[in-house]
Amino acid sequence: MAANTYLTGIKPTGDFHLGNYVGAIKPALAAAKVYDTYYFVADYHALNTVKDADELRHSIRSGAATWLACGLDPAETVIYQQSKVPETFELTTVLTALTPKGLMNRAHAYKAARDRNNEAGITDLDAGVNMGLFNYPILMAADILIMEATHVPVGRDQSQHIEYTADIAGYFNNRYGQGGQGYTLPLPKGVIDDSEASILPGVDGRKMSKSYDNHIPLFLPENKLKKAIRRIPTDSTPVEDPKDPDTSVPFQLLTHFVGPDTVADVRKRLERGGTGWGDLKNELFEAVNAELGPKRERYEELMADPRQIDDILEAGSVRARERARAVLDRVRAAIGVA
Protein backbone atom coordinates (compact mmCIF):
# COMPACT_ATOMS: atom_id res chain seq x y z
CA MET A 1 0.00 0.00 0.00
CA ALA A 2 1.30 3.46 -0.88
CA ALA A 3 2.01 5.60 2.18
CA ASN A 4 -0.42 8.41 1.43
CA THR A 5 -3.18 8.13 -1.08
CA TYR A 6 -5.33 11.22 -1.55
CA LEU A 7 -8.71 10.52 -3.05
CA THR A 8 -11.68 12.70 -3.73
CA GLY A 9 -14.94 12.50 -5.64
CA ILE A 10 -16.28 15.24 -7.87
CA LYS A 11 -20.06 15.22 -7.98
CA PRO A 12 -21.02 16.23 -11.50
CA THR A 13 -24.16 18.23 -10.79
CA GLY A 14 -24.25 21.68 -12.33
CA ASP A 15 -21.49 24.06 -13.19
CA PHE A 16 -18.57 24.82 -10.95
CA HIS A 17 -18.19 28.23 -9.35
CA LEU A 18 -15.36 30.39 -8.05
CA GLY A 19 -15.82 28.92 -4.54
CA ASN A 20 -15.30 25.36 -5.82
CA TYR A 21 -12.21 26.54 -7.67
CA VAL A 22 -10.59 28.24 -4.68
CA GLY A 23 -11.79 25.80 -2.00
CA ALA A 24 -11.56 22.44 -3.77
CA ILE A 25 -9.88 22.44 -7.18
CA LYS A 26 -6.79 24.54 -6.39
CA PRO A 27 -5.86 22.71 -3.17
CA ALA A 28 -6.43 19.32 -4.83
CA LEU A 29 -4.15 20.28 -7.71
CA ALA A 30 -1.49 21.38 -5.22
CA ALA A 31 -1.82 18.02 -3.40
CA ALA A 32 -1.34 16.23 -6.73
CA LYS A 33 2.19 17.62 -6.89
CA VAL A 34 3.07 15.95 -3.59
CA TYR A 35 0.96 12.84 -3.07
CA ASP A 36 -0.40 9.85 -4.89
CA THR A 37 -3.77 11.20 -6.02
CA TYR A 38 -6.98 9.57 -7.24
CA TYR A 39 -9.72 11.98 -8.32
CA PHE A 40 -12.92 10.71 -9.85
CA VAL A 41 -16.22 11.86 -11.26
CA ALA A 42 -18.86 10.44 -8.90
CA ASP A 43 -21.48 9.79 -11.57
CA TYR A 44 -23.42 7.16 -9.60
CA HIS A 45 -23.76 9.61 -6.74
CA ALA A 46 -25.14 12.17 -9.19
CA LEU A 47 -27.66 9.64 -10.51
CA ASN A 48 -29.67 10.08 -7.31
CA THR A 49 -30.65 13.53 -8.46
CA VAL A 50 -29.88 13.71 -12.19
CA LYS A 51 -32.34 11.49 -14.05
CA ASP A 52 -31.88 12.94 -17.53
CA ALA A 53 -29.36 10.85 -19.52
CA ASP A 54 -28.12 13.67 -21.74
CA GLU A 55 -27.72 15.94 -18.77
CA LEU A 56 -25.75 13.31 -16.83
CA ARG A 57 -23.52 12.58 -19.86
CA HIS A 58 -22.86 16.29 -20.27
CA SER A 59 -22.16 16.81 -16.56
CA ILE A 60 -19.67 13.93 -16.40
CA ARG A 61 -17.66 15.41 -19.27
CA SER A 62 -18.02 18.93 -18.00
CA GLY A 63 -16.81 17.93 -14.52
CA ALA A 64 -13.76 16.15 -15.91
CA ALA A 65 -13.06 18.96 -18.42
CA THR A 66 -13.21 21.55 -15.63
CA TRP A 67 -10.52 19.81 -13.62
CA LEU A 68 -8.37 19.11 -16.68
CA ALA A 69 -8.68 22.73 -17.84
CA CYS A 70 -7.64 23.93 -14.38
CA GLY A 71 -4.42 21.98 -14.72
CA LEU A 72 -5.05 18.43 -13.53
CA ASP A 73 -2.39 16.32 -15.22
CA PRO A 74 -3.50 12.75 -16.01
CA ALA A 75 0.15 11.68 -15.91
CA GLU A 76 0.30 12.81 -12.29
CA THR A 77 -3.20 11.99 -11.01
CA VAL A 78 -5.38 9.01 -11.75
CA ILE A 79 -8.56 10.69 -12.99
CA TYR A 80 -11.43 8.31 -13.56
CA GLN A 81 -15.14 7.75 -13.70
CA GLN A 82 -16.76 6.00 -10.73
CA SER A 83 -19.14 3.88 -12.84
CA LYS A 84 -16.16 2.48 -14.75
CA VAL A 85 -14.79 0.86 -11.61
CA PRO A 86 -17.48 -1.77 -10.96
CA GLU A 87 -15.44 -3.26 -8.10
CA THR A 88 -16.79 -0.30 -6.12
CA PHE A 89 -20.31 -1.64 -6.36
CA GLU A 90 -19.38 -5.16 -5.29
CA LEU A 91 -17.62 -3.71 -2.26
CA THR A 92 -20.75 -1.64 -1.59
CA THR A 93 -22.74 -4.88 -1.35
CA VAL A 94 -20.23 -6.33 1.09
CA LEU A 95 -20.28 -3.19 3.25
CA THR A 96 -24.09 -3.11 3.21
CA ALA A 97 -24.06 -6.47 5.02
CA LEU A 98 -21.87 -5.01 7.78
CA THR A 99 -23.47 -1.61 8.28
CA PRO A 100 -26.23 -1.15 10.85
CA LYS A 101 -29.30 0.52 9.41
CA GLY A 102 -29.40 2.83 12.44
CA LEU A 103 -26.16 4.44 11.27
CA MET A 104 -27.80 5.33 7.95
CA ASN A 105 -30.91 6.66 9.74
CA ARG A 106 -28.65 9.22 11.43
CA ALA A 107 -26.93 10.41 8.24
CA HIS A 108 -27.25 14.20 7.77
CA ALA A 109 -28.48 14.20 4.17
CA TYR A 110 -31.19 11.64 4.90
CA LYS A 111 -32.25 13.38 8.11
CA ALA A 112 -32.39 16.72 6.28
CA ALA A 113 -34.71 15.21 3.63
CA ARG A 114 -37.04 13.95 6.39
CA ASP A 115 -36.94 17.30 8.18
CA ARG A 116 -37.93 19.05 4.96
CA ASN A 117 -40.94 16.74 4.62
CA ASN A 118 -41.87 17.33 8.23
CA GLU A 119 -41.71 21.10 7.82
CA ALA A 120 -43.82 20.87 4.68
CA GLY A 121 -46.47 18.97 6.67
CA ILE A 122 -45.98 15.74 4.68
CA THR A 123 -46.83 12.81 6.95
CA ASP A 124 -44.69 10.21 5.13
CA LEU A 125 -41.28 11.54 6.14
CA ASP A 126 -39.59 9.29 3.58
CA ALA A 127 -41.56 10.76 0.70
CA GLY A 128 -39.23 11.55 -2.20
CA VAL A 129 -36.29 9.73 -0.59
CA ASN A 130 -34.81 7.06 -2.86
CA MET A 131 -32.60 4.22 -1.67
CA GLY A 132 -29.67 5.86 -3.44
CA LEU A 133 -29.90 8.80 -1.06
CA PHE A 134 -30.29 6.47 1.91
CA ASN A 135 -27.29 4.34 0.88
CA TYR A 136 -25.20 7.31 -0.26
CA PRO A 137 -22.73 7.05 2.66
CA ILE A 138 -22.08 3.35 1.98
CA LEU A 139 -21.33 3.98 -1.68
CA MET A 140 -19.01 6.79 -0.66
CA ALA A 141 -17.27 4.50 1.85
CA ALA A 142 -16.77 1.96 -0.95
CA ASP A 143 -15.26 4.65 -3.23
CA ILE A 144 -12.70 5.42 -0.56
CA LEU A 145 -11.98 1.92 0.74
CA ILE A 146 -11.71 0.27 -2.69
CA MET A 147 -8.62 2.42 -3.36
CA GLU A 148 -7.25 2.07 0.18
CA ALA A 149 -7.25 5.86 0.37
CA THR A 150 -5.65 7.32 3.48
CA HIS A 151 -6.59 11.00 3.00
CA VAL A 152 -9.83 12.41 1.66
CA PRO A 153 -9.94 16.15 0.95
CA VAL A 154 -13.56 17.33 1.19
CA GLY A 155 -15.70 20.26 2.25
CA ARG A 156 -16.98 20.46 5.83
CA ASP A 157 -20.42 19.20 4.77
CA GLN A 158 -18.84 15.85 3.89
CA SER A 159 -17.07 15.24 7.20
CA GLN A 160 -19.80 12.92 8.53
CA HIS A 161 -19.35 10.75 5.45
CA ILE A 162 -15.66 10.32 6.19
CA GLU A 163 -16.42 9.43 9.82
CA TYR A 164 -18.95 6.88 8.58
CA THR A 165 -16.35 5.45 6.21
CA ALA A 166 -13.95 4.93 9.11
CA ASP A 167 -16.78 3.35 11.18
CA ILE A 168 -17.72 1.01 8.35
CA ALA A 169 -14.08 0.05 7.72
CA GLY A 170 -13.89 -0.66 11.48
CA TYR A 171 -16.88 -3.06 11.31
CA PHE A 172 -15.12 -4.87 8.48
CA ASN A 173 -11.77 -4.98 10.27
CA ASN A 174 -13.29 -6.25 13.53
CA ARG A 175 -14.85 -9.14 11.71
CA TYR A 176 -12.26 -9.92 9.05
CA GLY A 177 -9.06 -8.18 10.12
CA GLN A 178 -7.39 -11.30 11.44
CA GLY A 179 -7.26 -15.01 10.94
CA GLY A 180 -7.19 -17.15 7.78
CA GLN A 181 -7.16 -14.82 4.84
CA GLY A 182 -7.69 -11.79 7.09
CA TYR A 183 -7.50 -8.35 5.58
CA THR A 184 -7.49 -4.93 7.22
CA LEU A 185 -8.84 -1.87 5.44
CA PRO A 186 -6.89 1.33 6.17
CA LEU A 187 -8.99 3.94 8.01
CA PRO A 188 -9.16 7.15 5.98
CA LYS A 189 -8.81 10.66 7.40
CA GLY A 190 -10.73 13.66 6.13
CA VAL A 191 -8.63 16.61 5.04
CA ILE A 192 -10.89 19.55 5.77
CA ASP A 193 -9.84 23.17 5.57
CA ASP A 194 -12.55 25.15 7.27
CA SER A 195 -10.53 28.22 8.11
CA GLU A 196 -12.48 31.42 7.45
CA ALA A 197 -9.82 32.51 4.99
CA SER A 198 -10.49 29.57 2.70
CA ILE A 199 -14.21 30.29 2.33
CA LEU A 200 -15.08 32.42 -0.66
CA PRO A 201 -18.08 34.73 -0.16
CA GLY A 202 -20.86 34.83 -2.72
CA VAL A 203 -22.24 38.08 -4.16
CA ASP A 204 -24.50 38.51 -1.10
CA GLY A 205 -21.67 38.02 1.41
CA ARG A 206 -22.76 34.55 2.57
CA LYS A 207 -20.61 31.54 1.61
CA MET A 208 -20.67 31.17 -2.16
CA SER A 209 -22.90 28.21 -2.92
CA LYS A 210 -25.14 26.90 -5.67
CA SER A 211 -27.85 26.41 -3.08
CA TYR A 212 -27.86 30.13 -2.17
CA ASP A 213 -27.79 31.14 -5.83
CA ASN A 214 -25.14 33.70 -4.98
CA HIS A 215 -22.37 32.16 -7.04
CA ILE A 216 -20.26 33.27 -9.97
CA PRO A 217 -19.81 30.38 -12.41
CA LEU A 218 -16.18 29.45 -13.08
CA PHE A 219 -16.16 29.63 -16.86
CA LEU A 220 -18.51 32.51 -17.59
CA PRO A 221 -17.68 34.15 -20.91
CA GLU A 222 -15.58 37.27 -20.39
CA ASN A 223 -18.39 39.82 -20.89
CA LYS A 224 -20.73 37.96 -18.54
CA LEU A 225 -18.00 37.63 -15.93
CA LYS A 226 -17.49 41.39 -16.10
CA LYS A 227 -21.24 41.96 -15.64
CA ALA A 228 -21.48 39.48 -12.76
CA ILE A 229 -18.65 41.25 -10.94
CA ARG A 230 -20.14 44.70 -11.66
CA ARG A 231 -23.43 43.54 -10.15
CA ILE A 232 -21.95 42.60 -6.76
CA PRO A 233 -23.81 44.88 -4.32
CA THR A 234 -21.72 47.57 -2.61
CA ASP A 235 -22.73 50.51 -0.44
CA SER A 236 -22.87 54.10 -1.62
CA THR A 237 -19.69 55.38 0.06
CA PRO A 238 -18.33 58.14 -2.22
CA VAL A 239 -15.09 57.46 -4.10
CA GLU A 240 -13.01 59.81 -1.96
CA ASP A 241 -14.15 58.39 1.41
CA PRO A 242 -12.28 55.68 3.36
CA LYS A 243 -13.72 52.18 3.00
CA ASP A 244 -13.52 49.00 5.07
CA PRO A 245 -11.92 46.24 2.97
CA ASP A 246 -12.84 43.56 5.50
CA THR A 247 -16.57 43.92 4.93
CA SER A 248 -16.22 44.22 1.15
CA VAL A 249 -17.10 41.19 -0.97
CA PRO A 250 -15.09 42.32 -4.03
CA PHE A 251 -12.04 42.87 -1.83
CA GLN A 252 -12.36 39.45 -0.24
CA LEU A 253 -12.72 37.84 -3.65
CA LEU A 254 -9.69 39.76 -4.90
CA THR A 255 -7.47 38.34 -2.13
CA HIS A 256 -7.84 34.90 -3.74
CA PHE A 257 -6.70 36.02 -7.18
CA VAL A 258 -3.72 38.35 -6.56
CA GLY A 259 -0.49 38.14 -4.55
CA PRO A 260 0.00 39.54 -1.03
CA ASP A 261 1.69 42.75 -2.24
CA THR A 262 -1.29 43.70 -4.38
CA VAL A 263 -3.68 42.81 -1.53
CA ALA A 264 -1.74 45.13 0.81
CA ASP A 265 -1.69 47.90 -1.76
CA VAL A 266 -5.44 47.71 -2.51
CA ARG A 267 -6.21 47.56 1.21
CA LYS A 268 -4.22 50.76 1.77
CA ARG A 269 -5.93 52.54 -1.12
CA LEU A 270 -9.41 51.60 0.14
CA GLU A 271 -8.67 52.60 3.73
CA ARG A 272 -7.18 55.91 2.63
CA GLY A 273 -10.08 56.79 0.30
CA GLY A 274 -9.86 57.78 -3.34
CA THR A 275 -10.55 54.31 -4.71
CA GLY A 276 -14.19 53.65 -5.61
CA TRP A 277 -16.04 50.34 -5.56
CA GLY A 278 -16.17 50.53 -9.36
CA ASP A 279 -12.35 50.74 -9.53
CA LEU A 280 -12.07 47.81 -7.17
CA LYS A 281 -14.47 45.74 -9.27
CA ASN A 282 -12.45 46.52 -12.40
CA GLU A 283 -9.30 45.27 -10.67
CA LEU A 284 -11.15 42.18 -9.52
CA PHE A 285 -12.40 41.44 -13.03
CA GLU A 286 -8.90 41.85 -14.48
CA ALA A 287 -7.39 39.52 -11.89
CA VAL A 288 -10.06 36.80 -12.20
CA ASN A 289 -10.05 36.99 -15.96
CA ALA A 290 -6.25 36.81 -16.15
CA GLU A 291 -6.25 33.63 -14.07
CA LEU A 292 -9.30 31.96 -15.58
CA GLY A 293 -9.20 33.17 -19.21
CA PRO A 294 -6.71 30.55 -20.47
CA LYS A 295 -8.45 27.84 -18.43
CA ARG A 296 -11.82 28.82 -19.92
CA GLU A 297 -10.33 28.47 -23.41
CA ARG A 298 -8.95 25.04 -22.62
CA TYR A 299 -12.31 24.01 -21.15
CA GLU A 300 -14.09 25.06 -24.30
CA GLU A 301 -11.59 23.19 -26.49
CA LEU A 302 -12.12 20.03 -24.47
CA MET A 303 -15.91 20.30 -24.53
CA ALA A 304 -15.82 20.85 -28.30
CA ASP A 305 -14.00 17.54 -28.71
CA PRO A 306 -15.28 15.33 -25.89
CA ARG A 307 -13.44 12.28 -27.25
CA GLN A 308 -10.30 13.60 -25.58
CA ILE A 309 -12.13 13.73 -22.25
CA ASP A 310 -13.63 10.29 -22.73
CA ASP A 311 -10.19 8.83 -23.58
CA ILE A 312 -8.58 10.37 -20.51
CA LEU A 313 -11.37 9.07 -18.24
CA GLU A 314 -11.16 5.64 -19.84
CA ALA A 315 -7.38 5.40 -19.41
CA GLY A 316 -7.62 6.57 -15.79
CA SER A 317 -10.42 4.12 -15.08
CA VAL A 318 -8.27 1.22 -16.33
CA ARG A 319 -5.54 2.25 -13.87
CA ALA A 320 -8.03 2.72 -11.03
CA ARG A 321 -9.54 -0.69 -11.71
CA GLU A 322 -6.20 -2.44 -11.34
CA ARG A 323 -5.87 -1.12 -7.84
CA ALA A 324 -9.53 -1.76 -7.03
CA ARG A 325 -9.32 -5.34 -8.31
CA ALA A 326 -6.46 -6.17 -5.95
CA VAL A 327 -8.36 -4.78 -2.96
CA LEU A 328 -11.58 -6.55 -3.91
CA ASP A 329 -9.71 -9.87 -4.28
CA ARG A 330 -8.46 -9.53 -0.71
CA VAL A 331 -11.95 -8.62 0.52
CA ARG A 332 -13.48 -11.60 -1.30
CA ALA A 333 -10.95 -13.98 0.22
CA ALA A 334 -11.40 -12.48 3.69
CA ILE A 335 -15.20 -12.84 3.71
CA GLY A 336 -15.16 -16.37 2.32
CA VAL A 337 -16.60 -16.07 -1.18
CA ALA A 338 -13.25 -16.84 -2.80
Binding-site ranges for ligand ADP (CB under 6 A) = 19-20, 22-24, 154-155, 157, 198-200, 207-211
Nearest alpha carbon to residue 50 among 13, 84, 83, 15: 13
Q: Does 144 contact ligand TRP by CB under 6 A?
A: yes
Q: What is the total count of residues that contact ligand TRP (CB under 6 A)?
A: 13
Q: Does 79 contact ligand TRP by CB under 6 A?
A: no
Task: Decide which of ligand ADP, ligand TRP, none touches 140; Cβ closer than 5 to 8 Å per partner kind.
Answer: ligand TRP
Between residues 184 and 209, which has the closer beta carbon with respect to ligand ADP? Answer: 209
For the bound state, the minimum distance from the C-beta of residue 26 to ligand ADP, rounded and expressed in Å, comes to 10
For the bound state, the minimum distance from the C-beta of residue 228 to ligand TRP, rounded and expressed in Å, comes to 24
**CA pair distance 84, 93, nearest whole angstrom:** 17
Between residues 41 and 284, which has the closer beta carbon with respect to ligand TRP? Answer: 41
Q: Which of 154, 168, 253, 313 binds ligand TRP (CB under 6 A)?
A: 154
Angle formed at CA 38 by CA 34 and CA 39, multiple of 5 degrees: 110
Nearest alpha carbon to residue 250 among 287, 295, 211, 212: 287
Neighbours of 331 (CB within 10 A): 22
Distances (CA, A) of 112 to 96, 138, 220: 22, 17, 32
Question: x/- binding map, residues 20-59, to ligand TRP, per CB under 6 A?
Answer: ----------------------x--x--------------
**CA pair distance 291, 126, nearest whole angstrom:** 45
76 close to 98: Cβ distance less than 8 angstroms: no
Q: Which of 36, 143, 148, 283 binds ligand TRP (CB under 6 A)?
A: 143
Q: Does 151 contact ligand TRP by CB under 6 A?
A: no
Neighbours of 133 (CB within 10 A): 19
Tell me which residue has its CB nearest to ligand TRP.
Answer: 9
For the bound state, the minimum distance from the C-beta of residue 13 to ligand TRP, rounded and expressed in Å, comes to 8
Interacting positions 272-311 with ligand TRP (CB under 6 A): none
For the bound state, the minimum distance from the C-beta of residue 27 to ligand ADP, rounded and expressed in Å, comes to 9
Q: Does 168 contact ligand TRP by CB under 6 A?
A: no
Task: Decide which of ligand ADP, ligand TRP, none touches 9; Cβ closer than 5 to 8 Å per partner kind.
Answer: ligand TRP
Distances (CA, A) of 10 to 19, 60, 132, 188: 14, 9, 17, 18
Distances (CA, A) of 210 to 15, 35, 83, 207, 309: 9, 30, 25, 10, 25
- CB burial of 300-324 (b: ≥16 within 10 Å; e: otherwise) equals eebbeebebbeebbeebbeebbebb
Tell me which residue has its CB nearest to ligand ADP.
Answer: 23
Angle formed at CA 89 by CA 310 and CA 307, multiple of 5 degrees: 5
Amino acid at 286: E
Q: Does 185 contact ligand TRP by CB under 6 A?
A: no
Task: Decide which of ligand ADP, ligand TRP, none touches 188; Cβ closer than 5 to 8 Å per partner kind.
Answer: none
For the bound state, the minimum distance from the C-beta of residue 93 to ligand ADP, rounded and expressed in Å, comes to 27
Task: List residues binding ligand TRP (CB under 6 A).
Answer: 7-9, 11, 42, 45, 140, 143-144, 152, 154, 158, 161
